[in-house]
Amino acid sequence: MIHSDPIAVITVGGKKGEFATSAAFTTWCKDFFELQMIFTVEPIFVDSSGSSHQFRAMQQVARRIHREWNRFHGFVVHVPDQDFLLQADLLAFMLGTVGKPVIVMAASATAGEQNESGDYTPSALRASLLNAAQAATSEFGGVALLSSEHVVPVVLSVNSDAGIVQSATKQYIGRVDFGVQIANPSFPRIDTKPVVNTAIGEAVPVIDIDTLNHSSSSSFGGAEGIIVTSSDPLPLSVTSSLPQDVPVLLVSRNGIHAYDHGQLASIDQLTPCAAQAKFIWVVGQMKSDTPILKEHSLTQWMFHDFTHEILPPML
Amino acid sequence: MRVYVHDEKTEGVALDVCTKLGVDILTPEIVRSRDALPEGFDFFLDQVDALIIEITEPTRDIQFILAQAILAGKPTLCLYAKNQPPRELLSHIKQKTAPRPIKTFSYVDATLAGAIKKFMRQHDPDHQDYDDVPSIKYTLRLTPRIERYLSWRSTRDTLSKADLIRDILKKSSEQDEPYSDEHESEE
C-alpha cells in the first residue's frame, strides 16, 4: 500500500448488511486489489444481527470510532440501505464535533453502475469504497456522507424524491473529482478525541398521523418519545390528540415541530431526518447521567447546536 | 475522444502532443477550477475515454486515480522518467495480469512524444495521425507496363491509382520487420 496513514473501514453487517460475517468482510477487503494498492486498511465488522434495537449497531460504531480514534487518519462507515440517512445522522449526534473525516456510505447513495434489476454492481461498491477511503485520507473533520461525487455534511443531507442524497443548503465539504477537491474550509481537521454520547431513546416509536388518530393514550405506555409523521400538513388541533406526558416530534409537510409539556415549537432549522435523529438522541441524553441536559426542556435542546446542524431557516 | 492529462514534470510536452493530435483534454487545473462535475456525470472517470499520467513522483491523488482506472478498466498511459522509476507504484500496477488497461512507459525526451502518439492511436478509433495524412506531394515516373497493371487494379478494386499505391506501400511497410524494429520507438 502507498498511503501510510491507516484508514478504518467499518461495515455494519449481518442479516441486513452487505456482508454476513466478519470473515466474509475481511476476505473481501483483502482481495480488493485496488484498495490494498493505495491504502493501509483495517476492516472492522459490526454485527447488527442480534440487536434488539434498530440503532444498536450505530451505537457500536460510535463506540468503536471513539476507542480507535488515535489509530486512524479517518474512518469509512458502510451502512445498510434501510434508514441509512437516519442512521448516519444519529451517528453524527453521538460523535458530536469530530476533527477527523468519518465518511458514511450506503449502496443507495452510490451513483455507480446498476445491473438489469436495478441493484448496484460489486464494482460500483468497490468504486464507492475507494472514493470514501480517499475522502477519509483528506484533511478535514466531520461526519460526512459520500453521495455521488459529493462529500456532504451528514446532518445537512436530504434524500430527494429520486433517492439522491443532496445537501439541504448546497453546502458541500468537497467532491471526488480526480482526487478529493476540498471546497469548504470550515470543516478543519483536529486530532483531539471527540466526546462521544451514545445514549439514545430506546422506545421512540415512529407512527403516521392516521395511526395516532386511531390510538388511545394508553397505546403509548412506556414510550420515551413519539415521532409522528404525515405527508400532509398537520392542523394545530393535532396537539389535542397528542399524549401530554411524552415528548413528541411532528414531521409533516408544513414543517417540523416539537411538542413537550403542552408547548409547541417549530424547529424548521433542521432537515427532517436530522430532526428525527436529534430527537431520538436528545431523548436518550435527557434520561442519561449527563447533568447539563436536565436543566432545560427537550424542546430547548432541540434548538441547541450540537454538531453544526442548525441551519438558517430553509426556504 | 477526451483524455485526462496529468503531467507536472515534462514541461507541457504531453499536453502539447495531445493538443496537436486534436483530442479534447481535461487537466487537473480545469478540474480544480470548476465547482462540480459536468451535468450527466456521477463518476469522475466517466468524463474521459483515456488517461495519460506522469507518475515519476506519484502524489496521493495520482495513486487514487490509477486505482480507480484499474478498477474501471479505463485505458491509461503511465509515463515515468528513465532511471527514476516509482518502484512501489510500478510493482502494484504490474501485479495485475495482462491484458491490463494500464500501460507504463519509461521515457527520455526523445521518446516521450512517440509513446503518447502510439497510445492515442491505439485507443482513439477516430484518430488520424499527422503521419497518416497524405500531405506530401510526390511525382513518380512509371513504366508503361506498370501503368497498365495499375489501371487494371484500380478498376478492379475501385480505388484511385494514388490510393492503391499508398495501400501497397503501407502494407509492405507494416510487414517489413527490420523496418518496424528500427522505427518502433519513433512511433
Q: Look at residues A21, A28, A74 and name the one whose alpha carbon lies nearest to residue A49.
A: A21
Cβ of A134 within 8 Å of Cβ of B28? The answer is no
Q: Please give the backbone phi and psi of residue B123, each rounded to the nearest 5 degrees, phi first.
A: -115, -5
Cβ of B71 within 8 Å of Cβ of A123? The answer is yes
Cβ of B92 within 8 Å of Cβ of A37? The answer is yes
**pLDDT in the model for residue A191:** 84
Instruction: Name the superfamily (CATH) of residues B2-131.
Output: Response regulator (3.40.50.2300)
Amino acid occupying residue B137: K
Q: Which residue of B has its CA nearest to A184?
A: B35
Half-sphere exposure of A34 (CA within 13 A, CB side): 22
Half-sphere exposure of B145 (CA within 13 A, CB side): 0
Residues of B in contact with A182 (CB under 8 A): none
The residue among A158 and B32 whose pLDDT is bigger is B32
Length of chain B in terms of residues written: 187
d(CA A106, CA A124): 11
d(CA A87, CA B147): 82
CA A159 to chain centre: 12
- Is it true that the peptide bond before B99 is cis, omega within 30 degrees of 0? yes
CB contact B36 to A (< 8 Å): yes
Q: Is the CB of residue B2 less than 8 Å from the CB of residue B24? A: yes
Residues of A in contact with B66 (CB under 8 A): 38
Three cell numbers written together for A133:
477511503
d(CA A113, CA B9): 34
The residue among B135 and A142 whose pLDDT is bigger is A142
Cβ of A126 within 8 Å of Cβ of B71? The answer is yes
Name all contacts of A44-48 with Cβ < 8 Å and 24+ positions apart.
Answer: A44/A8, A44/A9, A44/A10, A44/A11, A44/A68, A45/A10, A45/A11, A45/A13, A45/A19, A45/A21, A46/A10, A46/A11, A46/A12, A46/A13, A47/A13, A47/A14, A47/A22, A48/A12, A48/A13, A48/A14, A48/A15, A48/A16, A48/A17, A48/A80
CB contact B31 to A (< 8 Å): yes
Low-confidence residues of chain A: pLDDT under 70: 1-4, 51, 107-122, 160-164, 217-218, 290-295, 310-315
Q: Which of A38, A123, A176 lies at the smallest CB-CB distance from B44?
A: A176
Neighbour-count burial of B155, counting CB atoms closer than 10 A to its CB (0-12 exposed, 13-18 middle, 19+ buried): exposed
Cβ of B32 within 8 Å of Cβ of A181? The answer is yes
What is the model's pTM? 0.82
Q: Which residue of A has its CA nearest to B29?
A: A178
Sign of CA dihedral B95, B96, B102, B105: positive
> Could you give the maximum distance between any two Cα atoms of chain B, in Å?
68
d(CA A303, CA B58): 47
**pLDDT in the model for residue B151:** 94
Cβ of B63 within 8 Å of Cβ of A3? The answer is yes
The residue among B26 and A212 whose pLDDT is bigger is B26
Amino acid occupying residue B132: D
> DSSP secondary structure string, chain B?
-EEEEE-SSSTTHHHHHHHHHT-EEE-HHHHHH-SSPPTT-SSGGGG-SEEEEE-SS--HHHHHHHHHHHHHT--EEEEEETT---HHHHHHHTTSPSSPSEEEEEE-HHHHHHHHHHHHHHH-TT---GGGS--S-------HHHHHHHHHHHHHHT--HHHHHHHHHHHHHHH-HHHHHHHGGG-
d(CA A197, CA A278): 12
Cβ of B67 within 8 Å of Cβ of A34? The answer is yes
User: pLDDT (tens digit, 9 = 90+) per residue, A264-304?
Assistant: 888 878 888 889 999 999 998 888 776 566 667 777 788 77
Cα dihedral: B9, B14, B16, B17 (round 10): 160
Domains of chain A are 6-182 (3.40.50.1170), 206-302 (no CATH)
Q: Is the CB of residue B40 less than 8 Å from the CB of residue B66? A: no
Residues of B in contact with A134 (CB under 8 A): 60, 64
- Please, which pLDDT band fits residue B68 given cuts at 50, 70 and 90? very high
d(CA B64, CA A298): 45
Q: Is the CB of residue A173 less than 8 Å from the CB of residue A142? A: yes
B114 CA: distance to closest CA in chain A (Å): 26
Q: Which of A38, A127, A176 lies at the smallest CB-CB distance from B63?
A: A38
Query: Cell numbers 414531521 label which residue?
Result: A251
- Give the ipTM: 0.85
Q: What does the DSSP 8-state code read for residue A280? A: H
CB contact B42 to A (< 8 Å): yes
CB burial string B79-89: b at 16+ within 10 A, e below: bbbeeeebeeb
**pLDDT in the model for residue B187:** 45
Coil, strand, or helix at residue A69?
Answer: helix
Question: Of the spans A59-73, B114-128, B163-177, which averages the highest pLDDT?
Answer: A59-73
Residues of A in contact with B74 (CB under 8 A): none
Q: Is it the case that residue B107 has pLDDT exceeding 80? A: yes
Three cell numbers written together for A128:
464507492
Q: Look at residues B67, B53, B45 and name the one whose alpha carbon lies nearest to residue A41.
A: B67
Q: How far is CA B173 from CA A226, A266, B116, B167, B169, in A?
A: 82, 81, 21, 10, 6
Q: Please give the backbone phi and psi of residue A54, each rounded to the nearest 5 degrees, phi first.
A: -65, -20
What mean pLDDT is predicted for residues B103-109? 93
